[in-house]
């Protein structure tokens, strides 16, 4: 379990895992916040193997588990089974979309302001309800972005990625991952921003809130490297304002 905060009494953690798609490691990261009452808030849960469960249980009791968009749902049921007393949250529309398959307790679309009262005011939440999937006409990611204010940490899923171009800590990035990054940066992102984001004014307002108004300093993406300071804020601005 990686400690994200650079201070002695850290309360933000993450666990990064390989995530192989068509023989390409596109990576994946789960975020964990130890809240003021000692309970745990889980963002985009990964596979709960024995080692992961031991590490999580050592941090505190799991109380909230969040699937932040339509894509990051694979292990939600596993976590609900392991922690039946925890509340399982889905992004707006996800509870109905997965009815009978994943036992979501709460749809964030039914929560006033998107941030549940049970989170005791520790988070700011922004629903990017700006997309339309071509031909289908439904949202694509329908993602909710979360800012944990006490630690100034931003949790983002598929709206922003920070795949490294060359190396991380002296270790070369695999060729397949470099190709994936190039395709995502040069092909997919322009299509998403210019074609799939259909509510431009709403999207710009959400970007302005997340990248400008919110006072976070650490970016914890599900895909890529954790970034900090002005570099992190610039990455988010440049990524989402590219259209």
What would the two tokens of residue 22 be?
């068509």
End-to-end alpha carbon distance in the chain: 36
| Per-residue pLDDT band at 176 (split at 50, 70, 90) | confident
Distance CA 65, CA 105 (A): 10
Determine which helix (DSSP H) or strand (DSSP E) holds 238, and give its type and residue range. Answer: helix 229-240
Q: pLDDT tens, 143-155? A: 999 999 999 999 9
What would you report as the CA-atom Rg of the chain, rounded to the nearest whole angstrom? 17
Q: Tell me, which fold does domain 2-240 have in CATH?
A: Metallo-beta-lactamase; Chain A (3.60.15)
For residue 172, what pLDDT band results from cuts at 50, 70 and 90? confident
Residue 7 is predicted with a pLDDT of 59
User: Range with the lowest mean pLDDT among 33-37, 109-113, 167-171?
Assistant: 167-171
- The whole-model pTM stands at 0.93
* Sheet of strand 12-17: strand arrangement: 2-3, 12-17, 28-34, 40-43, 62-67, 87-90, 106-107
**Cα–Cα distance measured from residue 44 to residue 173, given in angstroms and rounded to the nearest whole number:** 24
What does the domain layout of the chain look like in residue ranges? 2-240
User: For residues 140 and 133, is the Cβ–Cβ distance under 8 A?
Assistant: yes
Question: Are residues 77 and 100 in contact, defined by beta-carbon separation less than 8 angstroms?
Answer: no
CA dihedral over 49, 52, 54, 57, signed as positive or negative:
negative
């Amino acid at each position: 379990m990686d400690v994200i905060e650079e201070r002695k009494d850290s309360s933000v953690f993450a666990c990064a895992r390989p995530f192989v798609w068509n023989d390409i490691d596109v990576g994946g990261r789960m975020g964990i916040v130890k809240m003021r009452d000692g309970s745990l808030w889980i963002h985009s849960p990964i596979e709960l193997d024995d080692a992961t469960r031991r590490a999580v249980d050592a941090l505190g009791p799991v109380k909230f588990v969040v699937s932040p968009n339509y894509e990051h749902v694979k292990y939600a049921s596993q976590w609900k089974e392991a922690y039946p007393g925890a509340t399982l949250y889905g992004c707006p529309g996800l509870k109905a979309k997965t009815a009978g398959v994943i036992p979501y307790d709460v749809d964030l679309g039914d929560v006033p302001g998107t941030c549940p009262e049970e989170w005791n005011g520790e988070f700011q939440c922004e629903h990017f309800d700006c997309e339309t999937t071509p031909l289908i006409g439904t949202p694509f990611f329908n993602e909710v972005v979360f800012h944990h204010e006490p630690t100034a940490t931003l949790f983002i899923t598929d709206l922003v990625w920070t795949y490294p171009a060359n190396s991380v800590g002296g270790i070369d990035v695999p060729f397949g991952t470099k190709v994936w990054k190039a395709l995502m940066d040069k092909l997919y992102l322009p299509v998403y921003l210019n074609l799939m984001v259909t509510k431009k004014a709403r999207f710009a307002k959400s970007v302005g809130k997340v990248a400008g108004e919110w006072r976070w300093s650490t970016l914890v993406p599900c895909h890529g490297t954790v970034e900090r300071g002005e570099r992190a804020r610039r990455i988010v601005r440049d990524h989402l304002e590219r259209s």
